[in-house]
Amino acid sequence: GLSQVELTELVAAELKARDAVLVAHYYVDGALQDLAQATGGFVADSLEMARFGRRHAAKTLVVAGVRFMGETAKILSPDKRVLMPELEATCSLDIGCPADAFSAFCDAHPDRTVVVYANTSAAVKARADWMVTSACALPIVKHLKDQGRKILWAPDKHLGGYIQEQTGADMLMWDGSCIVHEEFKATELVLMREQHPQAKVLVHPESPAGVVALADVVGSTSALLKAVTDDPTGTFIVATDNGMMHRMRQLAPQAVLLEAPTSGRSATCKSCAHCPWMAMNALEGVLHCLRTGSGEIQVDETVRVKALGCIERMLDFTA
């Protein structure tokens, strides 16, 4: 087999030869994040990934992340070829919100403005008035509340509950959750904080309310990263996917980063929050999709045009 260095060089050459750019989420393997950085691509949260994909001139976008991120890229850039190293990489929020059942839920509540999280299929977005990510959900819901709107929110009940608590908006909630963030445990987190009284607790709002309540900073992946780079010698307890640690360590090598306790889905580690679908992304997969054109994202044109509206509304709002 090839060494990691050889493989990285091969993928970099292939990206260049095919006028392709790599866009990676903070949760994927560090090698992919580094390659994206080194080749003029981008590493970011889901909101900034969408923006980057749209503005970049490359003919092909290779999206290292989960399916909805590739779909959002395709919806925004229908003339680009969007490839993913692993088309099976999905998300428990997306799985838990099938388009037909969701559409029926919307039909039953026609008086409500439909706000969906980015972590959904193109077909679900096509039924929505607004799409939001964790980076902009709060100001957008606040804006809708100020306009007197009642909201139908899907699919993440923890993020939705947090937004409802912060804004006081009238939100009817779909019952979905992230299998990774749902594992963070408040009781154990209290104990860990007692052992590290100087630590700041950073929490992604897909976590349960009891964990969010213990946070010094609640925010999207990019907001949590900023909390670390703002205090580069600090100590942090991090309640989000541990793929995030790679970029935090790079940008703040002196910071002390501790993984927040989980219930320990795996027998081999007590604290090991990592998304199994994000983990499917690898250098080999990127090379394979570039060489063979496999893993291409297709979105039905009728669905795409409908979904585009709710994504553009968010991009305009946050511009």
Chain residues in the site for ligand SF4 (CB under 6 A) = 66, 91-93, 119, 178-181, 206, 241, 275, 277-278
CB of 291 to ligand 13P, least distance (A): 28
| Segment lying near ligand 13P (by CB under 6 A), choices 105-113, 132-140, 191-199, 250-258 | 132-140
Contact partner, 192, from ligand 13P, ligand SF4, none, Cβ < 5-8 Å per class: none
Residue closer to ligand SF4 (CB basis): 83 or 278 = 278
Decide if residue 128 touches ligand 13P (CB under 6 A).
no
Q: Count other C-beta atoms under 10 Å from residue 19's C-beta.
A: 11
Candidates 35, 36, 45, 70; binder of ligand 13P (CB under 6 A) is 45
Decide if residue 46 touches ligand 13P (CB under 6 A).
yes
Residue closer to ligand 13P (CB basis): 47 or 89 = 47
CB of 134 to ligand SF4, least distance (A): 9
Phi, psi of 63 (to 5 degrees): -105, 115
Decide if residue 119 touches ligand 13P (CB under 6 A).
yes
CB of 46 to ligand 13P, least distance (A): 4
- Torsion, CA 237, CA 240, CA 241, CA 242, rounded to 10: -10
Contact partner, 71, from ligand SF4, ligand 13P, none, Cβ < 5-8 Å per class: none
Near ligand 13P in 10-29, by CB under 6 A: none
Residues 6+ apart with CB under 8 A from 14: 20, 287, 290, 291
**Interface contacts to ligand 13P, rule CB under 6 A:** 45-47, 119, 133-135, 178, 206, 220-221
